[in-house]
Amino acid sequence: MKKTFFTLSVCAAFVCSAVFFSTTGCGSDKTEGKDSLTTDSMKTAGISSSYSIVPADMKLQNQASADTFSWLSFIALNWPSNPSTCSADTSNGMNILSGTGPVVWETYMDPEQVFVKEGQQPAAWCATANADALKHIPAQVLELGKKTGVNRYIHIASKTESLDEIDQVFGGPLVDQNKRFVRYEIRMNMDEYNFITQNNLWNNAGQATYAKSNPEVQMPQGPSTYGPVGAMEIKASWKVLGANDDTSSFYTIQAIVYNNEGDTLISPGQNPVTLGLVGLHISHRTASQANWVWSTFEHNDNLTKSFHNPNISDSAANKPIGVKNPKELDAQGNPIQTPTQVTRVNEIGDPFRDGINTHFQGMLKGSVWENYHLVGTQWFQFEAVAQQYLANTTMETFLQGPKPASFGDFPLRQGELFFTDPRYQPFSSTSSSSCMGCHYTATSSNLRFNFSFLLFDTQF
């Protein structure tokens, strides 16, 4: 193990310091797949239909390969989809550069379609817009959708534990500079959907039965009988675009937003609204990464315009509203909350990331997607977490932790699986944000959930 680690470390430092890899590089006679292309070949190839295929794994076990894997995943997941097949649409030259949607990940399954109420069954895969897929949407909201022709619905979460829709983890709503709440949604890919439904993990009784012979859920790790790439979860953050926003720089959707305020579900403001994508988490359990690969992207304007006012002090940065069930709008539909002043507490130490971002943004030039960047990629390198700290400022705004970054009052030693230490408390103000560390704590009273909080969403 030590010899292998030394060989790959030296190879990564001196040979693989370039953004991409030649076909005869580091630790392998030959690499295959999209991230084996050289920089020059990628420039000449452009964005071909091969980029619409979600990569199954990292090609090499180093940070540059991890970051490349993240970008290739981002391109494939944001490729325009064929909603009837819930897969990438490559017909008639369809390409990510068009910036049109719905994109592939938007056709993946919403947890509310899987973790249904007693007496119901999970929606069929790719039942995107039929009645079966929308049965969890209130009738009042569905009626507005019928009138307006809009079938995307995003609402306030009923509990912060569900980690979706509008609440951040324990922090409450994030308020943008337009004084509007940020919305969130989560999707699972086909591999994870098949695993959950076929093992009856979408309800409490099924989980209890599974736990009798399995101490831990084992989500599909790479290609399996459940699907071609392994389990994946996607989390997106959206902001309501207003007069001060350049809509041409965002990937946008039309959606109906509704809040649980009083006796009405429908927001008193304009509906539908235009939402712009401001953050995207991608988690993927691959053959080489049992602890999943954690990739996070943000819009370039997040910390310069959308969530930050350069004319005010950062002394109160990253502070939650501090009020339970806050209202977003008054009766006339006017925003009433104070914007959250958002900053990044700790920079991500990745020597490869900026060059890789520049390259892929260049490939996507002229499309909305050039306005997004990789914040970082977290993965497990031998016996240690690579990129130990990672936060998306639109999703972990209030959980970024101290500066300098820390896991609390104990040291992280090389080779230590830090999140098994009972002193590690991911939601403490003394602990810095770590995707892998936080999700490792996803455990019920009798079953480890294999890094997925979605299994807490059972309704009976």
User: How far apart are alpha carbons 455 and 443 in whole angstroms?
Assistant: 9
User: How far apart are alpha carbons 367 and 363 in whole angstroms?
Assistant: 9
CB atoms within 10 A of CB 159: 10
Q: What tokens does 243 get?
A: 């007069």
Report domain extents, the chain: 8-383
Q: Cis link prior to 272 (omega < 30° from 0)? A: yes
User: How far apart are alpha carbons 230 and 237 in whole angstroms?
Assistant: 23
Strand partners, 165: 184
Q: What tokens does 440 get?
A: 């490792």
Rounded to two decimals, the pTM is 0.86
Q: What tokens does 180 get?
A: 């509007």
Q: Are 105 and 187 in contact, with CB atoms under 8 Å apart? A: yes
User: How far apart are alpha carbons 460 and 191 in whole angstroms?
Assistant: 23
**Contacts within 8 Å (CB) and 24+ apart, 420-427:** 426/399, 427/169, 427/170, 427/399
Strand partners, 185: 236
Q: Are 299 and 393 in contact, with CB atoms under 8 Å apart? A: no
CB atoms within 10 A of CB 404: 9
Q: What is the rounded (10 degree) CA torsion for 448, 116, 89, 44?
A: -30
pLDDT digit of tens for each residue in the chain (460 aa)? 333 332 333 233 323 333 333 322 333 333 334 543 433 334 434 799 999 999 999 999 999 999 999 999 999 999 999 999 999 999 999 999 999 999 999 999 999 999 999 999 999 999 865 666 677 788 888 889 999 999 898 876 433 334 444 455 556 789 999 999 999 999 999 999 999 999 999 999 999 999 999 999 999 999 999 999 999 999 999 999 999 899 999 999 999 988 765 445 667 788 999 999 999 999 999 999 998 999 999 999 999 999 999 999 998 899 988 777 788 888 888 999 999 999 999 988 888 999 999 999 999 999 999 999 999 999 988 666 777 888 999 999 998 888 888 777 665 554 455 567 777 777 778 788 888 878 888 888 888 898 899 999 999 9
> Parallel, antiparallel, or unpaired: how do β-strands 289-299 and 372-381 relate?
antiparallel
Query: Could you tell me how many helices (H) and strands (E) the chain has, helices first?
Result: 9, 11
Q: What tokens does 41 get?
A: 């070949």
User: How far apart are alpha carbons 205 and 212 in whole angstroms?
Assistant: 11
If you write DSSP's letter for every residue of 169-230 in order, what string do you get?
Answer: TTTB--B-TTS-B-EEEEEE-HHHHHHHHHTTTTSHHHHHHHHHH-SB-----SSBTTBSS-
Only one residue has tokens 């994030």, namely 174
CA contacts within 13 A on the Cβ side of 361: 16
